[in-house]
Structure 1
Amino acid sequence: MTTSKRLPIYAQRKKDFLHQLAVKEKEIARIAVFRLLAGLAIAVCIYLSFKDQWFIIAVFGTVFVFAWLVRLHSKLFNEKVITTNLLRINELELASAKGDFSKQETGSAFTDTHHVYAYDLDIFGEGSLFQFINRAATHSGKKQLATRLKNPLTSIDNIVKHQESSKELSECIDLRQKLQAVGMNSLETAESRTQLLDWLQHKPMLPNKNIWRVLLMVIPALTIALVVAAYFSSAFKPFASLLVFSQLVLIGVYFKRTTAFHDYVSRKHTILKQYASLLRVFNLEKYNAAHLRDLSGITHEAEVKITTLASLLTALDARLNFMTNIVVNGLLLYDLQCVYRLEKWREENGEALAGWLDALAEIEVTNSLATYTYNHPHYAFPAFSEVQHIKAEALGHPLLAEDVCVSNDFRAGDPQSVLLITGANMAGKSTFLRTLGIAMVLAYNGAPVCAKSFSCSVMHLRTGMRTADSLKDQQSYFYAELNRLKSITEELRTKKPLLILLDEILKGTNSTDKQAGSMALVKQLIDQPCLALVATHDLALGVLEEKFPEQVKNYHFEPTIENDELSFDYKLKEGIAEKMNATFLMKKMGIIPS
């Protein structure tokens, strides 16, 4: 959970935004009154202009004031929305700091029961890592964060760059929350990005750009010139009428194709404006971290180009007004002007659009990890080396409250590469495996981990902890577990460095068969380029340390039974477990006689 050190900061920010919201609401109410008065003034000036033509000047003046007030009202309303979002953000951070992040998005849509570790480690869903760290507001940002959590960075240099960006952005609380607040207005859906990128692949509606450029300049210019001339001389009226009619006929010829074009991109201008607003907020700062500078190098151009595209789409949506449509199409070939400019934009910028949208999503991912960094100033940024190892001091689970989180020192790979963890039910074996797994996911994404110090090498994480059966695939639990183990062993043969976390393997078979299979699997892991942690109730596996002391190390979690009461300290200790609790608990609960 968020460190208690941040509670006063979020409480003060909540108080500040409550005050700002009250001020905005008063300003909006005041402007609304002035706007009403300006509207009445326009009506009075128009009435008086019939008696005195000099009041026409007053009409224009009051219309200008009214328009300015409308613009100001819109600006203040947008600021109110952002302030409301900022208030909401700090309320959520306060709740999270107290251990309640139930109102944060769970990321359940990204759950994959067959992923190589995400399902086992509770990366998505209720009480998940995603719910804990996500601060992305757009669908693209959430999807990119989910992708990163399932496919972390694999280069030490790249990880270190992301560490630097997490550190730098973590200190910019106003910027981070402004990004999140602007993103909260997003109307983006899962299909929005796909539709935009699909539009890039459409065949052009106006393929001969040079010809159309001339036509769209010459025909409207000539038409307007003749209409103006007809105002002064009726001799030009037939020619003006002919050209206006010809433009409407040309618009009619392309009407069906224009409508189909418009339907595909209709109302995308709102989403694009929101993208541009997010980019504008990010571009307000100058950055030192290499990753942030790389993003900034992309986003400055992206902001300009996406704003332009939003304006072009807004212009195309104006054709929905029937009267405007008739007038501007008769004089300017308006529909085709809009299509031409959009297709020209696509031709010039289409290849870059996907990269710009990726950069925007990456900003939200970085913002999420930076907020996580800010919320946990006492967490450690991992150090990395090429030597295969893990070393942790006071390693804890980040999702557990500070007052209940038990930390453990831990090391692997110096020299033992296979660690057997024995212990009773509920003693902490599975939680420890998930603690280490989540630490590795965060470490490989450039985030700090819940530890006093942490160092490791870059490995590919693989788990076998919570294998799911599948009725759809006619696959039993046991067969699904074997498939998971098979995929791990196949990867080992490629000599890819792996970190393997296994919890009570071969649960679906009898104890003798399970022991033999487990023993054989552990022996196979010994000579592979991997680090493996195997949690088990089977104490017989502990003899492997005697046979392979340079490769295998025994650890355990153990309960304490005093005065007929069972308790756990959740501390990892060297050696094999000696106490089990299943029989004790069954007697305690009256399941079997004591």
Structure 2
Amino acid sequence: MSREELLSFYADRRSAFASQLQKISTHINIVSNARLLIAIVFVGVLYFGFTYHALLYLLPVLIVVFTVLISRHGKLFQQRQHLQNLVKINQYEQQAAGGDVSAFGTGAEFTDTHHPYAHDLDMFGTGSVFQFVNRCNTLIGKSKFAMRLMNPLLSSDAIVKNQQAIRELSEKTEFRQHFQAAGMEMEELPRDREQLLAWAKEPSFLFGKVAYRIVLTAVPVITLALVAGTFFFSFLRPFAVLTAAFQWAFLGFHIKKVNAFHEYISRKKNILQKYATLLHYLQGERFTSPLMTGLAEKAQNAGSKVQQLASLVHAFDARLNSMTSLFTNSLVLYDLQCVYRLERWKEENATNLDQWLEAASETEVLGSFATYAFNHKQFTYATVEPTLAISAKAMGHPLIAPEECVVNDFQIGNGPSVLIVTGANMAGKSTFLRTLGVNIVLALNGAPVFAKEFRCPIIHLRTGMRTADSLKDHQSYFYAELDRLKGIMDELRQDVPLLILLDEILKGTNSTDKQAGSIALVKQLTPHPCLAIIATHDLALGTLEEEFPEHIRNYCFEANIENDQLSFDYKLKPGLAQKMNATFLMKKMGIIPA
């Protein structure tokens, strides 16, 4: 799908949802006016009913109609919010198709400058992989997506299952967008999910105890019977008062626990309702891929169960109305009945709650990759092979628009496993390293990569491009770089297969020391199970190809200087770079004499 087709696709969907939104808004106005009219009629009937008593029979009908309109009004508001989110989704995707991803979160909160590759490869922050690909809205979904970028899958079976799920979801735009819109309705606090799961594991203080079950069943029945009997036998009134007093005394004995229970669970009502909506969409969709089928099976009945929990919490909130609390607790031990029902729900469903929420967040992650796949149908899915080798045809950087990106064929392994890449400033060395690194991360997550063909093994990625110093740890830039290199070598000596991407290593020392150290490091890499690419300006490293022809190859990105103009083709070529541009640029800018 071309950029123009993608822009048109999202523009059409945005327009369609905007039209539906307009109709819903009109319907809301009609229902609002109808509610107001019913309220005016109710007051009028009540006023004239004292004179014309027959009118009073209309009051129950008006109350029922008003209640129905309130319910309808609430549902219409929910539909309007959902449609507003769908309009936003397609507006944001339309903007993204045009190159503007500013509407999406940057994931800056997940930035870790000491991660083995995330900082070097722009996984998080403005213009990052996270901002381009993530479409998760729940806090746990965003966190899971970030962790997936930092810790790709390490099983070929898991990668293949993810590929199948992402392929399937990429063709289910309706499901993905409705699921995403439901996630946008969530208002979470950082510890909501953790606290909800903690509550599910707490022991019950009412449910499962026979004595409480008897009291909660028998006492309300007796009280209601006595209250009803007082209409016929006045001598029962003292007994009715006594049973009501007993209920308050019994509740008072547990009031601290009840208040703490309510305060804790009441704050989770909104998140429960939102997760119920997500699970409702998931369980209602039919899938064929094994991974999505499994997630949908986990969600079976989950939507209604979680909605039931949200409804129980909502019912418990009725105690916040003092008049309602006085009436219901006098008759049926309402607060304790609510606690008992919530504890019964917990006993019946607590073991499933975590997997239900996990299914929703995992679907968000897969949906994010699927939206990325849909937006880049020209990309391909990687073939994961056991051989320690990577090959790619027409590989480009996934965050650069295909029509603007220069692509390269590439091969490493099955022979030489260290590539020395030389070239002038701005020629494309660093971008090439990031291109390979980002594509590997996507490939090992089962997502499509920017290439016509891409083959890679299960491999750990390690980089050294933007090593950061640390005032907190009293660590200089140079020492931080050495520490990064030491970590890489320690892993290699344990025979951990690594893909190593290094850009201008040992920048913190003089040129002679830098050259000697770089050559020594490259020699250390050759005996170990790794694939390494070293980008450098130092042409002396190119002599290593002659010393280790079976392990090392030279490649370069050349600068072109013609008619006193500097240009780059960004194409990877075999051999050492022959042209450098620092002196040329300094002369052009007047820094040094021409």
Residue 318 of structure 1 is matched in structure 2 by 318
Offset from partner CA, 1:351-394 (integer Å, 9 cap, x none): 32222211111011111111001001100111111111111111
Mapped partners of 2:469, 2:337: distance in 1:
58
TM-score (norm 1): 0.97
The alpha-carbon deviation at position 339 of structure 1 amounts to 1.6
Report whether the alignment pairs 1:87 with 2:96: no
* 1:546 corresponds to: 546
Per the alignment, residue 590 of structure 2 pairs with: 590
Q: Distance in 2 between matches of 1:91 and 1:521?
A: 50
Q: CA deviation at 1:457?
A: 1.1
Look up the equivalent residue of 2:256 and give its one-letter code. K
Question: 3-state DSSP class of the match of 1:505?
Answer: coil
1:424-478: CA deviations, max 9, x gaps?
1111111111111110111111110111111111111111111111000101111
Give the counterpart letter for 1:447 in structure 2. A
Offset from partner CA, 1:547-580 (integer Å, 9 cap, x none): 1111111111111111222111111111111111
Q: 1:69 Cα shift?
A: 1.8
Q: What does 1:554-569 align with in structure 2 at a 5 Å threshold?
A: 554-569=554-569
- Note the alpha carbon deviations across 1:308-331, whole angstroms, 9 max, x for none: 211121122211111111111111
Who is 2:461 aligned against? 461
What aligned pairs does 1:256-275 form with structure 2 within 5 A after superposition?
A: 256-275=256-275
Does 2:517 align with 1:524? no
| Aligned-partner Cα distance in 2 for 1:314–1:406 | 57
**In 2, Cα distance between the equivalents of 1:278 and 1:352?**
16
Task: Tell me which residue corresponds to 1:426.
Answer: 426
Supply the AA of the counterpart residue of 1:74: G
Give the deviation of 1:40 after TM superposition.
2.2
Q: Which stretch of the first structure deviates more once superposed, 395-404 or 368-377?
A: 395-404
> Contact (CA 8 Å) 2:503, 2:536: kept in 1 or not?
yes
Letter in 1 for 2:211: I
- Give the letter for the 1:279 counterpart: L
1:188 aligns with 2:188: yes
Say whether the 8 Å CA contact 1:3–1:376 is kept in structure 2: no
> 1:82: how far off?
1.0
Counterpart in the other structure of 1:487: 487
Q: Where in structure 2 are the equivalents of 1:53-132 lying within 5 Å?
A: 53-132=53-132
Q: Which 10-residue stretch deviates more, 537-546 or 60-69?
A: 60-69
Q: Deviations over 1:103-124 (max 9, x none)?
A: 2110111111111111110000
Specify the alignment match of 2:512 in structure 1.
512
Contact kept, 8 Å, 1:2 with 1:98, in 2: the verdict is no
CA contact (8 A) 2:230 2:237 kept: yes
Q: Is it true that 1:358 corresponds to 2:397 in the alignment?
A: no
SS at match of 1:399: coil
Could you tell me how far 1:56 is from its partner in structure 2?
3.6
Does the 8 Å CA contact 1:423/1:557 hold for their aligned counterparts? Answer: yes
Retained in 1: the 8 A contact 2:10–2:90?
Answer: yes
2:528 and 2:180 map into 1 onto residues whose CA distance is 45
Q: 2: distance between equivalents of 1:417 and 1:502?
A: 14
Give the aligned partner of residue 338 of structure 2.
338
C-alpha offsets along residues 190-249 of structure 1, whole Å, 9 cap, x if unaligned? 121122122234343337623222221112112111221222212211221111111111
Find the counterpart in structure 1 of residue 22 from structure 2. Answer: 22
Name the structure 2 match of 1:287.
Answer: 287
Aligned to 1:212: 212
Task: Give the conservation status (yes or no) of the 8 Å contact 1:183–1:274.
Answer: yes
Between the aligned partners of 1:5 and 1:181, the Cα distance in structure 2 is: 23
Q: What's 1:154 paired with?
A: 154
Give the aligned partner of residue 200 of structure 2: 200
**Structure 2: which amino acid aligns with 1:386?**
P
Unaligned runs of 5+ residues in structure 2 are none
Matches within 5 A, 1:361-380: 361-380=361-380
What is the identity, as a one-letter code, of the residue corresponding to 2:243?
L
Runs of at least 5 residues in structure 1 that lack an aligned partner in the other structure? none
Contact 2:280 2:302 (C-alpha < 8 Å) held by counterparts: no
What residue number does 1:396 align with?
Answer: 396
Q: Cα offset for 1:46?
A: 2.8
2:295 equivalent to 1:308: no
In the aligned structure 2, how far is the partner of 1:31 from the partner of 1:348? 39
> Quick check: 139-148 or 249-258, which moved more?
249-258
Alignment of 1:224 onto 2:224 = yes
Q: Give the CA deviation at 1:271.
A: 0.9
Give the match's secondary structure for 1:200: helix
Aligned residue type for 2:515: Q
SS in 1 for 2:288: coil
Q: How far does the alpha carbon of each residue in 1:19-52 deviate from its partner, in whole angstroms, 9 at most, with x for none?
A: 1122111111122222222222222333344344
Q: CA RMSD in A?
A: 1.6
